[in-house]
Amino acid sequence: MSVLRKTSRRLADGREILYFDDTPGAHERTAVDPRDLPEVTAASEIRRDPLTGEWVAMAAHRQTRTYKPPADLCPLCPSSPGVPSEVPESDYDVVVFENRFPSFAQRVDGTQEATVDGAGITPSAPGRGRCEVVCFTSDHTGSFGRLSPERMRTVVDVWADRTAALSRLDGVRQVFPFENRGEEIGVTLSHPHGQIYGYPFVTPRTERMLATAEAYRDRHGSHVLGDVLAAERASGERVVAEGEHWTAFVPPAARWPVQVQVVPHRQVADLTELTGAERDDFAHVYRQVLGRCDGLYGKPLPYVAGWYQAPRGTDRDLSWLHLELLSVLRSADKLKYLAGSESGMAVWINDATPEQIAGRLRVAGEPGDDGRPTG
């Protein structure tokens, strides 16, 4: 693994941009952002639903965010003469910067918790946190699955670096690195990129998983995901890819038409605890998963992929880091819509069994040297 060089700079409006260079001899990052940008204002607020106890974010300023620009005006590509972008340099390896249209931010109005209309029913608070954009490559036509294993490892290191940094920020309770890919998912910038959210609360899904893990441990004396992992490895029926330190499998109660969990064989709370060997092996296993996903329908699969990590400073013994990938594409030309049962009652109905999903992925093809499926 090459030495990773990290450089911090500022964009024209004061936002931080971080360059992570793994290319030997990469030039020093000194370019200045020439744009005349107004200061970022984030009117982020969170409100707690009094019926469910779940926090909901209000970020009306995001209505004006960039929407499907032409490729020659992509804000995530390196800057070129006469076409400045969010990245002032003419090239980069991996770059991270503060989102100009954040759902959560450190600089938000208000400091105190309150209730909506002062009625004492619906709690509200400033949406204090941080949202970052992670550009995986300067190649506008690339994809995460086509990165080299070495570059994938770099991205894992970047995720770990940002998990540690965001966890130290005022108000951040949980860090969530994720990637949205494909217009079917709702992506409005096609350049290969992901995001990292520093939430000002523990997310509802995480709260539910922690409560389940605690109840399971009290009853069985072990971690539920550890036991699920052991059962999946023993069966093999839903396993999609496996390495020395990670196994990827379709969960036995999969909700989505395509759903894969990538789980380390050792319990760790978050990305910062992974060893170098575990980070290398993740890149190897995940590259296989993405290659099979793109081979499933013979075209790039739209997906959401995100990391489940421990909340900041709590419940680390109940957490087991893992990545989950899901797709709304149920056939080459059909989407799964979240209709009445899913949207209204959160009761999922899958059109395929987990065993069928895993079987289709296993025969979908291994990725070649360029990350494209070979089958």
Q: Which residues are catalytic?
A: 193
User: CA-CA distance, 76 to 189, in Å (whole number)?
Assistant: 8
Q: What is the 3-state secondary structure (H, E, C) of 103-119?
A: CCECCCCCCCCEEHHHC
Phi, psi angle pair for 329, to nearest 5°: -85, 110
Of 246, 247, 250, nearest to 274 (Cα)?
A: 246
Strands 123-126 and 114-115: antiparallel
User: Which residue, chain included where needed, has tokens 């793109």?
Assistant: 294
User: CA-CA distance, 81 to 55, in Å (whole number)?
Assistant: 44
Tokens of residue 200, six digits: 């000002």
Q: Rounded to the nearest 10 degrees, how much is the dihedral formed by the CA atoms of 22, 25, 28, 33?
A: -60
CB atoms within 10 A of CB 196: 23
Contacts of 249 (CB under 8 A, 6+ apart): 232, 238, 239, 240, 260, 261, 263, 358
Of 160, 202, 159, nearest to 313 (Cα)?
A: 202
DSSP 45-75: EEEE-TTT--EEEE-GGGGGS--S--GGG-T
Give alpha helix (H) positions in the chain: 149-167, 204-220, 224-235, 276-296, 345, 354-362
Burial, 277: exposed, middle or buried (Cβ in 10 Å; 0-12, 13-18, 19+)? exposed
User: CA-CA distance, 316 to 338, in Å (whole number)?
Assistant: 32
User: CA-CA distance, 44 to 174, in Å (whole number)?
Assistant: 17
Tokens of residue 108, six digits: 């938000």
